[in-house]
Amino acid sequence: MKFSLELFPPKVTDGIEKIYDCLAGMSEVNPDFISVTYSAGEAKAGLTLEVCDYLQREYKIPAVAHLTCAGQSVQTIDTALATMQKTGVTSVLALRGDLTEEKKLTDFRYATDLMQKIKGLGGFTLYGACYPEGHVESKSFDDDIEVMKIKNDLGVQEFLSQLFLDNADFLNMRDKAVRRGVTAVLAAGIMPVTQAKRIVRMVQLSGAKIPENVAKMLAKYEGDDDSLCKAGLDYAVEQIRELGKEGLQSAHLYTMNDIATAKYIRSGISDLL
């Protein structure tokens, strides 16, 4: 099984040293790759690519740069891709991105538009997003599967799933995607329940659900942050282990830049890697 991590760079107003310290810790986990996202709507593609370049040069760990349609023009996308080619960052996770007042859709409206652009240039490895419970703006789950097939045919080599807390949702998506002809690797996006407020916020943003067993865990450890963190980490380990029994090829950990979380999960599934 492959094991990868996701982290976000600091805001442009913060020092880059903070993320370099995080990368040093993440490198000890020995992931197959690290994907680097934008930070809180403020960091630009330049900072993301700077972190990716440093990661590959300093630690020889493959980097996957997030690139979004939101807030981007043909010119800014061309600049980002040219920088990637120059620095040897050739893996990109193409996304529509979250929309804000500052980040709107202009030249690229869908992730598939961005993927077509990247595919036309050649020389890049494409990653895509998928949604075990359906995208919050999708017309239907079947429509989501059709979009996965389009992305697959555009050359996506691995899908990184949105967070989910019920393995049945991921397995249902996987089975339907495979039946539709999706051949890319499907990575389970795992976000450990380490903080109650954080997981509730992320669930609200993503449209994911909190299953009954997780709701009971949150209630049981209400006010006991340390016990909740330990229980949440163990739940995430069990998620991956159970999916491993179902043939999972890849697990992608949403670290929230927490080195201890990454190391704990890695240790809990080391025999699967």
What band does 8 get if pLDDT is binned at 50, 70 and 90?
confident
DSSP 103-170: S--SS--SHHHHHHHHHHH-S-EEEEEE-TT--TT-S-HHHHHHHHHHHHHTTEEEEEEPP-S-HHHH
Q: Count other Cβ atoms within 10 Å, centred on residue 15.
A: 9
Query: What's residue 42's pLDDT?
Result: 42
pLDDT tens by residue, 201-256: 999 888 899 999 999 999 999 999 999 999 999 999 999 999 999 999 999 999 99
Domain ranges in the chain are 2-272
What band does 119 get if pLDDT is binned at 50, 70 and 90?
very high
Query: What's residue 38's pLDDT?
Result: 66
2-272 CATH, one of 3.40.50.150, 3.20.20.220, 3.65.10.10, 3.20.20.70: 3.20.20.220
Which has the higher per-residue pLDDT, 177 or 98? 177
Q: With 50 as the cut, is the pLDDT of residue 264 above it?
A: yes
Q: With 70 as the cut, is the pLDDT of residue 101 above it?
A: no
Q: Count other Cβ atoms within 10 Å, centred on residue 98.
A: 12
In the chain, pLDDT over 70 holds for what percent of residues?
93
